[in-house]
Structure 1
Amino acid sequence: MIIAVLNQKGGVGKTTLAVNIAAILARNGRRPLLVDGDPQGSSLAWSSTRERAPLFPVVGMAKPTLHRDLPQIAQHYDDVIIDGAPRVNDLSRSAMLASDLVLIPVQPSPYDLWASLETVQLIREAQQFRPHLAATFVINRKIKNSALGRDFDGALAPLGMPVLPAHLQQRIVYAESAAQGLSVAEAAPRSEAVQELAALVVCIAGTSANQERRAA
């Protein structure tokens, strides 16, 4: 399974999500590869900060030929997670064309809602070439007990993409673990954040399985 984490808006938590999804997959016994498809290189920077043995390899592939170059590498792994670039359409398109599933992280804010439309439009274009490409929103950095957080699923509905039922709340452990080159599963293995991430990975697996059945 190749999963791209993409949003044309910056600062929505793409790298945090990509790193921690890969970590949960590794914890579950899978062999993930994390691909840094962003010229900013945040996933590579996280990996270089790390002092422990790597949980999974991280490679840089911030180029518009990603969809042609990745398949040969991907065959050696169970899962590939692409940490995509914001505001660079050719890189985003290439990541979409390489993928089975696109995750669109959004924070519960009007700005994220408005900015997500451009990402949805790019996905619709990519689906013309990859009809079985699936895409779904992931609500990230949700503020507990806030009205906007509770109602944001409905606000996303007009964009025509499903929303994963597992949401991630805003938690300081994400920043604290990243500063050490660690995943949340390593820094706080029994935390609520890890429980949320594990539930998210289960939802992702279910979405991928459904897509495979439709494509068969």
Structure 2
Amino acid sequence: MIIALANQKGGVGKTTLALHLAGTWARQGKRVTLIDADPQGWALDWSQQRAREGLSRLFGVVGLARDTLHREAPEIARDADHVVIDGPPRIAGLMRSALLAADLVLLPVQPSPLDGWASAEMLALLREARIYRPQLAARFILNRCATRTVIARETAETLADHEPPVLATTVGQRVVFADAAQTGRLAFEIDEASPAAREIVALAAEIDRLRIGRIAA
């Protein structure tokens, strides 16, 4: 399965989710490659920091911030159980290529009215991609939220009435994610019992239950 984390708004936690999903699946024994399609290269930076810390490689990280991604990602997927694409912000051509490469698009949004507006342009690109790939699946993921806040609940209720659907799993705003980004580690390596680690495991399991795979053209 090729999963693209996409939202044209920056700062919604795409890279954090991409790295942690890749790490969780790799830990489960799956062959995983992460494609860093963001010209800023945050996932590549994380991978390099991990190497500097002398930590073992959990999964491969490849930089492919170019609009031929939709042709190259399926080739990478031949040797992987999961390919995770960390998508770019606000580069329409590259975003289109990432969407066309994917079997499933995850749209991280924060519990904020501003994120709702920011998603409108993203959804237009998704509709365009579905002209060429009608089977392309998509889900919202509520990220960086405090689950008991009113705005988080209202955001989830708003997304429940929209297409694409929202995943049941939510991911909180956790200090351990910031620590992981700085140290080249993942949440489960810092604290396996942390809420952050449990939430990512639950998210990966929910995605697996969707049983989405590439359908040959």
Q: TM-score range by the shorter chain?
A: over 0.9
Q: How does 1:1-216 map to 2 (within 5 A)?
A: 1-50=1-50, 51=53, 52-207=55-210, 209=211, 211-212=212-213
Structure 1 residue ranges (4+ consecutive) displaced by more than 4 angstroms after TM superposition: 211-215
CA drift of 1:212 comes to 5.0
C-alpha change, 1:32 and 1:214, in structure 2 (3 Å) is closer
Matched residues in 2 for 1:183 and 1:33: separation?
Answer: 16
Report the TM-score, using the length of structure 1 for normalisation. 0.95
Higher mean C-alpha displacement, 183-192 vs 3-12: 183-192
TM-score (norm 2): 0.94
In structure 2, C-alpha distance between the alignment counterparts of 1:23 and 1:17, rounded to whole Å: 10
Tell whether the 8 Å contact from 2:12 to 2:110 is kept in structure 1 after alignment.
Answer: yes
Gaps of 5+ in 2: none
Q: Deviations over 1:184-213 (max 9, x none)?
A: 121111211111111101111122x1x459
Root-mean-square deviation over aligned CA pairs: 1.6
Structure 1 residue 150: Cα displacement: 1.5
Q: Please tell me whether the aligned partners of residues 88 and 94 of structure 2 are also in contact (alpha carbons under 8 angstroms).
A: yes
- Give the 3 Å change call, closer, same or farther, for CA 9–201 of structure 1 in structure 2: same
Structure 2: distance between partners of 1:44 and 1:30: 20
Instruction: Give the distance between the partners of 1:167 and 1:153, measured in 2 at CA.
Output: 9
SS, match of residue 58 in structure 2: coil
SS at match of 2:25: helix
Contact 1:23 1:185 in 2 (8 A): no
Aligned pair in 2 of structure 1 residues 144, 72: CA closer, same or farther (>3 Å)? Answer: closer
Q: How far does the alpha carbon of each residue in 1:89-128 deviate from its partner, in whole angstroms, 9 at most, with x for none?
A: 1111101111100000000001111101111111111011
What displacement does 1:158 show? 4.8
Return the alpha-carbon distance in structure 2 between the equivalents of residues 103 and 203 of structure 1: 12
Q: Is the 8 A contact 2:7 2:119 kept in 1?
A: yes
SS at match of 1:82: strand
AA aligned to 1:11 is G
CA contact (8 A) 1:24 1:198 kept: yes
> Is the Cα contact below 8 Å between 2:4 and 2:99 reproduced in 1?
yes
Q: Alpha carbons of 1:33 and 1:213: their partners in 2 closer, same or farther (altered >3 Å)?
A: closer
Q: Give the AA of the match of 1:43.
A: A
Between stretches 142-151 and 173-182, larger displacement belongs to: 142-151
CA contact (8 A) 1:120 1:159 kept: no
Question: 1: distance between equivalents of 2:93 and 2:191?
Answer: 37
Percent identity over paired residues? 50
Separation in 2 of the partners of 1:31 and 1:195? 21
Contact 1:7–1:86, Cα closer than 8 Å, also in 2: yes
